[in-house]
Amino acid sequence: MSSGQRIRLEAYARLGRGKKHAKWQPVSLCIYKNYPRVKVYDERCDGCGDCVEVCPEKILHIEDGKVRVEDVEECSLCSDCVKACRKEPKAIEVSWDKNSFILTLESTGVLDPKRIFLEAINIFNKKAESFIRCLEEIEEPGENG
């Protein structure tokens, strides 16, 4: 631009949802998993360390000749530790809590992750309320004649 020239900019902000177009999507990643449970049966475990070797997340270690879990939330539920254990019955078991979840949400930067989550819950609640209203409006069989 030359000296003295100016730019006139007119900009419009349009609100929308990622459901309609990806340009409104505030997250780059959103995944969840059930809360892992890793149980070690001390009476069966001989501390051989085979499960420790194969764990891809490196969350198992040997302490006083027994396996201990360091950070169970990092468990990927792969069950490699169970497959590696040669004891029968197995000295280690992996399962998950079907009522607890670990949600991972990565923002694109447009909104704070906490705000994104709370907005999503608000939208979900409104949809649930609308659904309940629709159900209530359905006439029971036999009503009005």
Q: Which parts of this chain interact with ligand SF4 (CB under 6 A)?
A: 38, 40, 45-51, 54-57, 59-60, 67, 75-81, 84-85, 87, 91-92, 94
Q: What's the chain's Rg over C-alpha atoms? A: 26
Q: Which long-range contacts (CB under 8 A, 24 or more apart) does 119-128 make?
A: 123/17
Q: Are 37 and 77 in contact (CB under 8 A)?
A: no
**Sequence-ordered alpha helix ranges (H) in the chain:** 50-54, 80-84, 113-137
Instruction: Output the smallest distance, CB 101 to ligand SF4, in A.
Output: 16
Residue 118 structure tokens: 């709370």
Measured from the CB atom, the residue of 75 and 116 that comes closer to ligand SF4 is 75
Instruction: Output the smallest distance, CB 100 to ligand SF4, in A.
Output: 16
Measured from the CB atom, the residue of 70 and 112 that comes closer to ligand SF4 is 70
Measured from the CB atom, the residue of 40 and 116 that comes closer to ligand SF4 is 40
Per-residue burial over 81-98, b = 16 or more CB atoms within 10 Å of its CB, e = otherwise: bbebbeeeebbbebebee
Measured from the CB atom, the residue of 81 and 116 that comes closer to ligand SF4 is 81
